[in-house]
A and B are shown apart, each in its own frame.
Chain A
């Protein structure tokens, strides 16, 4: 089933996707459940317009970019293994100097 979530970028991370902060996404169907791991790859392939290496490093986000899942630290939610649910709000905040 398709999944609709909100993704937000701030602290300079928004520059990588056309300077737009808030995005409503409709994730396409896939066989297993959507995890953050899959979402990151999807964002990299579909949203990031330039310099994807400034967003992702290996299979996770670049260190220095905070990830919040529904207003909570993603470290509490299982990081990459978190299974997305309908209407989740995922926020990426760059804490790096100059974004």
Chain B
């Protein structure tokens, strides 16, 4: 695809600090500049606004994805990027827009405080702040508790292929943000359940990954419930470049293009669209500051933790550090990922958790088999040891690891490699897994068995 810089060279240019930029004028007009975007280009306030709006509109326009009058969901975390996206949409729908946007947005916030150690008062307060920002936009706005993610798809027994399960009656409870100022406190037992679920994912890295995918599945579920088919998310290019490197490090390389493209189609009927993916987090934050867009700070699991507390955090430190000296870092990473071919969604099975195509159907002489082999060997050693340490059962993980070995194949077969890594610390105890994973994998196993039974009558694989 063509893009602005295709003809120009993008060589790493080290920022020579100070002086040179001092008192610089806007590159478009002669007003004094207020913000530096790319390398040495600086803009004045009004040219900057034009620039941001153009990038946002161009991304939406170029894709021709959203139809006229279509109702879309805007995923709103409350953070700076989301707030900027909401403001851009508002602006695009207002009369002063050059060419009006033509879709009808509904705003949804997933309240994730349940994962964190936040008191219920603080949670209510945060919620009210977010509700206020959402209502200010004038669009219909809803809040959903992340706790519900554990129970989604209770009534939705996915059909053969996880992606085409119809979940019209999955029955998520969605609060209208208008009541956000007085929503009933979330059921504490549910919160505890969620917390222990997330807590049972061993590393912070896996927890972040787990929360992210569970949240996406909850959103998908709600989108289906509302009868929409598109979700706008506010991932900026900085976030995406961090995600690209994180994904590679976490064994999700095959999903890269899905995770970072303008449109993510892995959920079949529900598309994730990323309209601000061409803007950096600096540009969005500057936009918020210059145009007084309110945002709410949302703590996350890694708030106030060390720079290397999780792979994502470490990658973030790396990318932002590099970006500070070489301002084309983020652009380079994102543009490189755009060159990747998306996986074949139609002819592959989906992972029961993250819904990306399974990447585990590989030959014998592959890295995956090698990992499995060495895991088996080292676990076998551990099991032998654990026979001696049964007196200390509470701390002894080895036993559980041994059990997981017995149960793993069944569940692991329906997970992609990245999700296997994330969920491995569950010891594959099915009862503790979120409903959707359990049910989908059960459904998938049934269909797998069924297919084995009838395989001799099949001329070719029809399940495609």
Contact = CB atoms under 8 A, between A and B. Distances in A.
Contact of A97 (B21, B295, B312): B312
A31 interface: no
Interface string A55-94: 0010000011010100111011111110000000001010
13 contacts: A11-B80, A11-B297, A12-B297, A16-B304, A50-B304, A66-B285, A76-B22, A76-B35, A78-B18, A78-B22, A97-B239, A97-B313, A98-B299
Top 8 A-B pairs, shortest CB-CB distance: A98-B300, A64-B320, A63-B324, A95-B281, A63-B320, A98-B303, A72-B34, A75-B36
B129 interface: no
A10 interface: yes
Contacts of B17: 79-80
A12 B300 CA distance: 10
A67 B33 CA distance: 15
Contacts of A11: 80, 285, 295, 297
Contacts, number: 98
A97 B304 contact: no
Contacts of B298: 98
Contacts of B321: 57, 63
A38 interface: no
B42 interface: yes
B160 interface: no
Contacts of A10: 297
Size bin of chain B's contact surface? 35 or more
A99 to B, nearest CB: 5
A87 to B, nearest CB: 18
Interface residues of A, number: 32
Contact of B307 (A15, A53, A81): A53
Given A12-B303, A76-B22, A98-B303, 6 more contacts: A54-B304, A73-B36, A76-B34, A80-B18, A93-B285, A98-B302
B238 interface: yes
B282 interface: yes
A60 to B, nearest CB: 8
Contacts of B242: 97
B344 to A, nearest CB: 31
A51 interface: yes
B290 interface: yes
Contacts of A15: 297, 299, 303-304
A96 interface: yes
A36 to B, nearest CB: 11
A66 B42 CA distance: 15
Given A63-B320, A78-B22, A97-B312, A73 B301 contact: no
B80 A66 contact: no
Contact of A81 (B18, B282, B289): B18
B44 to A, nearest CB: 10
